[in-house]
Amino acid sequence: MTSRGRFWFWLVGGLVLVLAAVAAFAPVPFVARSPGPVFDLLGEVEGEPVLEVTGTTTYTADGVMDLTTVSEYGGSGGSITSGLAVLGWLSSTTTVLPDEDRGDAQAREFEEAVFDASLSTAQAAAANYLDRPVTSVPVVVSVALDTPAEGVLQATDEIVGIDGKSVGNSQQVAKRIQSQPPGTEFQLIIVRDGEESEVTVASESATDENGDEVARVGIVVENVYSSDFEVALNLDGIGGPSAGLMLAVAIIDKLTPQDLVAGRHIAGTGTISSEGDVGEIGGIAKKMISAREDGAELFLAPVGNCDEVVGQIPDGLAVAAVETLDQAMKAITEWRAGKSVADCPSGSPSAERR
């Protein structure tokens, strides 16, 4: 190769390397999800209990009970680069998906509000399991932009009445609004920052998932429950409803004298209803990885997630598939006693494990 040829060879090669380096750091519209941190609900953080139960007699719980999470980064903000996206695609523990332009700040606020409602629901599930009193109030957790409720209602508003009639749950709020045609004005009695007031909001026409016309005002309402005890989680930045099952189990453990875990290490995930029904969640394979890496021996998984559990269970981790809080409590007790736990349906790679 002549000196002129070598010059062009190195020039072009250098430009290719520069462009490759620039591309590797260029933001791309993808979201990466990987195993996130775990938090021991029976432990402490900065000298405070992770899960705090007050207002009643509580008992010391021995062992580790992990709340599992999935870490997410990237999105429409462009905080994930093409280089990180490629590394994620090559990783066996990371999932990279196209971003859905969710509006990250608003989505995060909504997720945290849903988590607060989930903690309240877990409190109700635990109270119902222990035959303790439960009351509820419908609370706004999100207000959609460009809807009649924007600027009128806000997250954390309690709705206690509509048009002079009291409401006791989110289902009653939805029924009252949807029973009237779009354009109807409603007088809502709300409690904000401890003070009661009346606001007016009109409904508008919207389309539901079946394509039918419905009336809406633009709010998401969840039931917030209370009992004869209070609960608080001393963690920041946790969102979504998937911690419900483990929160309910941990609350029960703190309210009862029996040593549920008996020094062992368990983890799990799943939504919870106030009646104790366990629902499926996302990212369960990654949560099992996080749990096992932290030392968990038993993992509570929703039956609805069995398709994602099968073939994904880390070595050394027993998985109990549950549909209710009652089943979860029974599974822990039987596993602790050395008995087999009910795993996902037979005939799959995840047979019963001890």
Q: Is the pLDDT of residue 1 over 90?
A: no
* Alpha-carbon span 135 to 228, nearest angstrom: 10
Closest Cα partner for 94 from 315, 289, 240?
Answer: 289
DSSP 85: H
- 135-226 shares the fold of 31-102+124-130+229-336: no
Amino acid at 277: D
Residues 130-173 have pLDDT tens digits of 999 999 999 998 898 899 999 999 988 999 999 999 998 999 99
DSSP 303: G
Both ends of the chain: CA-CA distance in Å?
69
The whole-model pTM stands at 0.76
Amino acid at 2: T
**What separation in angstroms does the CA of 191 have from each of 90, 118, 154, 158, 184?**
51, 20, 11, 5, 22
Write out the two tokens for 175: 């029924």
Confidence of residue 111 (pLDDT cuts 50, 70, 90): low
Write out the two tokens for 27: 């933001």
pLDDT of residue 309: 94
* Alpha-carbon span 30 to 337, nearest angstrom: 45
Confidence of residue 109 (pLDDT cuts 50, 70, 90): low
Three-class DSSP category at 150: strand
Residues 221-240 have pLDDT tens digits of 989 999 999 999 998 877 77
| Strand blocks (E) in the chain | 30-40, 44-45, 48-49, 51-54, 64-74, 95-98, 135-143, 158-162, 165-166, 185-192, 195-202, 204-207, 213-216, 219-226, 230-233, 265-268, 271-272, 278-279, 298-302, 318-322
Contact by Cβ (8 Å): 227, 136: no
Contact by Cβ (8 Å): 146, 140: no
Element (H, E) at 110: helix 104-129
Q: What is the CATH number of domain 31-102+124-130+229-336?
A: 3.30.230
Contact by Cβ (8 Å): 197, 188: no
* Domain 135-226 CATH class label: mainly beta
* Alpha-carbon span 247 to 270, nearest angstrom: 10
Write out the two tokens for 335: 């596993």
Domain residues of the chain, as ranges?
Answer: 31-102+124-130+229-336, 135-226
Contact by Cβ (8 Å): 143, 150: yes
pLDDT of residue 19: 44
pLDDT of residue 209: 78
Tell me the pLDDT of the chain averaged across its residues. 81
Phi-psi region of 276 (alpha: psi -120 to 50; beta: other; left: phi over 0): left
Residues 271-283 have pLDDT tens digits of 999 999 999 998 8
Confidence of residue 254 (pLDDT cuts 50, 70, 90): very high
pLDDT of residue 304: 94
Lowest mean pLDDT among 61-75, 86-100, 299-313: 86-100
